[in-house]
Amino acid sequence: MILLFEAFGTAMLTCLYLATGGGAAMFIGFFILLIFSARISGSHYNPIVTLAFMLRKDAGQFNKWLGLLYMLFQLGGAYVGCLVSFYFFGTKAFYLTVTRHPLQCMLCEVLGAFILVTMYLT
């Protein structure tokens, strides 16, 4: 059940990003997703957030095997979210990501994940 919430939330977050291209609408949607499943699964929705929880050294340590399962379900959810976005929004949603250079996409993901982890863990 917990893993399905992570997969569903990641799929919805991926759909939000591809449909809106980021910005305020995506962050409002992320906040709503966070409220609905924060107590159930922790609302990680990103493998880098799960990895940060796995590497923490405090008393509430996150189980590493559960963390690996979280990451698998998050990747599956992101894949499903891409497919749903493609079929609902067509190639218009993918125009934002396909035309960028792969290094630019990787840099955006690293910076975005850093900001997300910083905001999530503070």
Tens of pLDDT, residues 37-78? 878 877 788 888 888 888 777 756 778 888 899 888 988 888
Going by C-alpha positions, the residue among 37, 29, 35 that lies closest to residue 8 is 37
Task: For the chain, state the CA radius of gyration.
Answer: 14
Half-sphere exposure (Cβ direction) of 100: Cα atoms closer than 13 Å: 13
Indicate if the pLDDT at residue 23 is higher than 80: no
Residue 22 burial (CB count, 10 A): 13
- What percent of the chain has pLDDT above 90? 1
Q: Are 89 and 19 in contact (CB under 8 A)?
A: yes
Distance, in Å, from the CA atom of 26 to the CA atom of 16, rounded to the nearest integer, reads 6
| Average confidence (pLDDT) over 85-93 | 68
| Predicted local confidence at residue 118, as pLDDT | 72
Distance between CA atoms of residues 26 and 24, nearest Å: 5
The whole-number pLDDT of residue 47 equals 83
